Amino acid sequence: MNIAIIGTGYVGLVTGTCFAEIGHHVICVDNDPEKVRTLQSGGIPIYEPGLEELVPRNVAAGRLRFTGSVAEGVEHADVIFIAVPTPPLPDGSVDLSFIEGVAREIAACLTSYKIVVDKSTVPVKTGEKVAETIRRYNRAKVEFDVVSNPEFLREGSAVEDFMHPDRIVIGVSSPRPVPRMREIYAPIDAPVLVTDINSAELIKHAANSFLALKISYINAISVICEASGADVQEVANGIGLDKRIGRRFLDAGLGFGGSCFPKDLSAFIKIAEQLGYDFGLLKQVQLINAQQMDRFLRKITDTLWVLKDKRIGVLGLAFKQNTDDVRLSPAIEVCQRLLREGARLRVYDPRAMEKAKAVLPPGPTVEYVPERDAVAEGCDALVIATEWPEFKQLDLERARRTMTHPILFDGRNLFDPREMERLGWVYKSVGR
């Protein structure tokens, strides 16, 4: 099938590439000429495991190409996916101007029946607005259908999530587009839920908000564990064995970040408010998340006393492992707050250092270190801020020898407290 993807961010590029991989002919559209040139020349503007192999392979096979023209994408495609950004506004609601703009562009180009699919994360009732916009600006007055097909892709495992999803959600207002949508996803073995558009749009926000709630819940439990002498990892293992609960998203730490959870949580609270419901539960999720960062920073200041002119090594800048994305990264927030207290930083991340430089410029107070085990040299303390597996292999003996004093603040609970004590470290983790 011929497919157009409008927007080549994390969602759009992964979706388009994976559709090509399963046999469709895909044209990806983006309004950033530099990004289009990068993709056309074989470059990948983001780090996502699997993309470096899949993009060139499908370009070479003639199933994947890139353009800056919406008109070219619409002409090529039977089905058009909208995967443009939906950034937050200052009040927590969603900026839908990119969605509206693309809907208008699609409308101006429509000359025959097309299926227009919202892939971006949008508030409930957005599909109705997209359909209204296309009807209003389509001079040819051709028939079309709008479909909601929310994505459930986790950065760092997005290709795997696309190829092996828990479910595929298709929201429609008429049965006409359903067979074609099923055909698109036919090569993927997963349950398909066909529902109305409003329900499909709510599923995405409800799912992300529930996962954020699980993270804040275990972080709240971590506070009780510290106060009582319990171990939050043991508690999480115990409750996670309950099949009704499950172990995933029960890792205590610095709190959630990234481009999805904080934005989607704020948006869902605002959506509920606009529908007449005060979602106090989710407001508490936000509060717990903010307090978790405060508690972690307090451990650092309580231990080091004065941070001014202290040299601190920070391992991790991405908001999570297996990505170079630093948007709303808890690790970046740790760095910024330490800098505000006058600390000097030595920082390292396996993938995110180049992108981090845009929000954490290198200079006299921030030194980017090219090698993990060199970060500790001359430092008064180390901080683990991202759960990269390679940080578990940190050369602790080398770090101990080269530091002023062996102090480690582990925001991701990567090491065993008893072993760290045996090795002579002052070790502070979360909920243990």
Q: CATH assignment of 292-428? A: 3.40.50.720
What pLDDT score was predicted for residue 224? 98
* Overall pTM surpassing 0.85 (yes/no): yes
The residue type found at 1 is M
What pLDDT score was predicted for residue 64? 98
Q: 265: which 2 tokens? A: 């949580």
What pLDDT score was predicted for residue 296? 98
Q: 118: which 2 tokens? A: 């919202």
Point out the catalytic residue in the list 18, 109, 260, 379: 260
Q: Domain spanning 2-190: which CATH class is it, in words?
A: alpha beta
pLDDT digits (tens, 9 = 90+) for 110-156: 999 999 999 999 999 999 999 999 999 999 999 999 999 999 999 99
What pLDDT score was predicted for residue 212? 97
Contact 195, 168 (CB under 8 A): no
N-terminal to C-terminal alpha carbon distance within the chain: 53
CA 121 to chain centre: 12
pLDDT digits (tens, 9 = 90+) for 287-327: 999 999 999 999 999 999 999 999 999 999 999 999 999 99
Rounded Cα gap, residues 293 and 298, in angstroms: 9
Q: 165: which 2 tokens? A: 């999803």
DSSP 87-133: PBPTTS-B--HHHHHHHHHHHHH--S-EEEEE-S---TTHHHHHHHH
Q: Is 225 designated active site?
A: no
Cβ-in-10-Å burial (0-12, 13-18, 19+) of 13 comes to buried
Q: Spell 324-341 as b/e; 16+ CB within 10 A means b.
A: bbbbbbbbbbbbebbbee
pLDDT-based confidence at 50, cuts 50/70/90? very high
pLDDT-based confidence at 55, cuts 50/70/90? very high
pLDDT digits (tens, 9 = 90+) for 89-120: 999 999 999 999 999 999 999 999 999 999 99
What pLDDT score was predicted for residue 261? 95
What pLDDT score was predicted for residue 405? 95
**Residue 296 phi/psi, 5° resolution?**
-65, -45
| CATH number, domain 205-285, options 1.10.1040.10, 3.40.50.880, 3.20.20.70, 3.90.870.10 | 1.10.1040.10
Domain 205-285 and domain 292-428 have a common topology: no
What pLDDT score was predicted for residue 262? 96
Q: Domain spans of the chain?
A: 2-190, 205-285, 292-428
pLDDT digits (tens, 9 = 90+) for 20-43: 999 999 999 999 999 999 999 989
Q: Which residues pair with 409 in a beta bridge?
A: 383, 428
Rounded Cα gap, residues 117 and 147, in angstroms: 5
Q: How many CB atoms lie within 10 A of CB 291?
A: 15
